[in-house]
Amino acid sequence: MEERMRRLFSGSLVGLGLAMLLAAPVAADTEPTEFRRFERGHLASASDAECHESADGRRRTCTETEVNIFDGRRGGSEPELRFAGEQVCVFRSKETYNPRTERILNTTLDSGCARNRPGRLDVDFGERLRWASVAGTIKLYRERCVDSGDGSFCESDERRVALDLHWDGRGPIIERFTDFRETRKNCEFTSTDTSRSRDASVSGQIGAEPVHLNGSILRHYFQETRVCT
């Protein structure tokens, strides 16, 4: 079950962009290149993952929920990285499989992000990371696949889902500073992150379903660069 949970649970990694940069090959004879991006502002995350097995042991169902809300500014050398304001992202998955054969019986994925939608989404952060909230509706893309035995059949659609979630900050505020530098061949990679964060319990509803999630509230300034000569 632990292996299945690891495969199902994607999580959120602040340094994901840096890992992609490190993995990208750079030809030695290319022109000098430079890539930069940064993010500063408030971020609140909420997640949960669990599995349940049927009484006969033939079915195991694993679910994952992840919500991220952001208010701040993002920027960088690429136009698609530049953004200022609010963003809400939701990801939910449900997978049922046979634990004996590892055969996947059905999967359902719901995902979507929305930016700066006044009147549709209201994102708020309290002082000193004490609380955060989101209320409104978001459009999610759904893909559902079922294994009939003769092959998989998938269908997709879009639906609007109501959100009403509140982050209740708990425990001390933790301050962190990380500084990463690495040189590979003719490229230098740097990454810095200054943050203040607090754990939070998250409650409310996604659609008609009440949820209780673990989360955090964060204020940070993150930047990374790749310079090749």
Q: What is the mean pLDDT of residues 9-37?
A: 49
Q: What is the mean pLDDT of residues 213-220?
A: 97
| Alpha carbons 73 and 83: distance in angstroms, whole number | 6
- Residues 157-177 have pLDDT tens digits of 999 999 999 999 999 999 999
Q: What is the pTM of this model?
A: 0.80
CA distances from 86 to 32, 38, 49, 78 (A): 34, 16, 26, 19
In the predicted structure, residue 141 carries a pLDDT above the cut 50: yes
* 19 sits in which H/E element: helix 16-23
In the predicted structure, residue 101 carries a pLDDT above the cut 80: yes
Six-digit token string for 171:
């425990």
